[in-house]
Amino acid sequence: MQEIWTEKYRPTDLDEVVGQKGIISRLTAIVKSGNIPHFLFTGPAGTGKTTSALALVRKLFGEEKWRDNFQELNASDERGIQIVRTKIKSFARAAPLGGAEFKVIFLDEADSLTSDAQAALRRTMEKYSNTCRFILSCNYSSRIIPPIQSRCSVMRFAPLKQEDIKEYLGRIEKSEDITITDGGFETLMYISQGDLRKAVNILQVAASFTKTVDTDNLYTSSALARPEMISELITLALKGKFGEARERLEDLITQGGLAGEDILGQIHRELFNIPMDDELRVRVLDAVGEADFRLVEGADERIQIEALLARIQLLGTRKDHSF
């Protein structure tokens, strides 16, 4: 069975982590001291938080002992206080193995923990700091309570630069004996938006169809619309051609299989590439934000996006850009 590329090519050493040189240099210096503080890794998905945590522990304990003194948990599986009182506390209170001074708990998606669970975790981090270190990973540090943040050394991971993603994908290209066209690389950059994991996953799906990966099979594999299709959708609405815009939307939903939130996300991105005056752009962005909020609250996606197109038409066809 073919291995998942995100795991097959996951770096095992801190020096191999892609695109986070500043953070990696700091982590390497800390590991050399033989001791680490509690860490809070925060940043967008696919930027190397989990990989850095695993590489840090392997470098700290060595290949033979790191598994004995490391526990990885995902807070999104069990979000309540019970996970802190059982799994986390029982592992934290046990003595390290193999002569190690402490153990490490890696808590992924820590921002999914409830407030009560975080309060209990704060006390556990304080009580067992002599025998256990915590590495917390999250997408939104604002969802972590201040007492936990103050106990951690915060590492903020930024979206990866295009050249770093391209270099990494180039290594996979050579190893897997596939060819990525120049347009394919550009498409991967557009789709991933700095998320290396997403880029690798989409590349693997596309490569399963053909050895030459280009723009066409990448968009087919990613279930995203081409940017020009979204631009046309917006432009038609701005010109007052609501019927044609609605037909394009119908194609995206029924034939392309796109979800409403995905379409809104692409509309938001393409708005900055379409020439229009600033006042109109601001009003359209405000309308997009309102539609997104309604979708998150559970409104019907087709009705809301059609309503958004109607609002864009009203904004585009009135001289004062109001309605």
Q: Is 106 helix (H, G, I), strand (E, B) or coil?
A: strand
Which residues on neighbouring strands pair with residue 40, listed in sequence order? 136, 154
CA atoms within 13 A on the CB side of 72: 12
Domains of the chain: residue spans and CATH: 5-156 (3.40.50.300), 162-222 (1.10.8.60), 227-317 (1.20.272.10)
Question: What is the distance of C-alpha 234 from the center of its chain?
Answer: 27
In DSSP notation, 164-222 reads: HHHHHHHHHHHHHT-EE-HHHHHHHHHHHTT-HHHHHHHHHHHHTT-SEE-HHHHHHHH
Cβ-in-10-Å burial (0-12, 13-18, 19+) of 200 comes to buried
| Pair 65, 27: CB distance under 8 Å | no
What would the two tokens of residue 289 be?
A: 């934000």
Q: Along the 323 residues of the chain, how does pLDDT read in single tens digits?
A: 467 888 888 888 888 888 888 999 999 999 888 888 999 999 999 899 999 999 999 988 888 888 888 888 876 666 667 777 777 888 888 887 877 788 898 988 888 888 888 888 888 888 888 888 999 999 999 999 999 999 999 999 999 999 999 999 999 999 999 999 999 999 999 988 889 999 999 999 989 888 899 998 888 888 788 899 999 999 999 999 999 999 999 988 887 788 888 899 999 999 998 988 889 999 999 999 999 999 989 999 999 999 999 999 999 887 655 54
Taking the CB of residue 12, how many other CB atoms lie within 10 A of it? 12
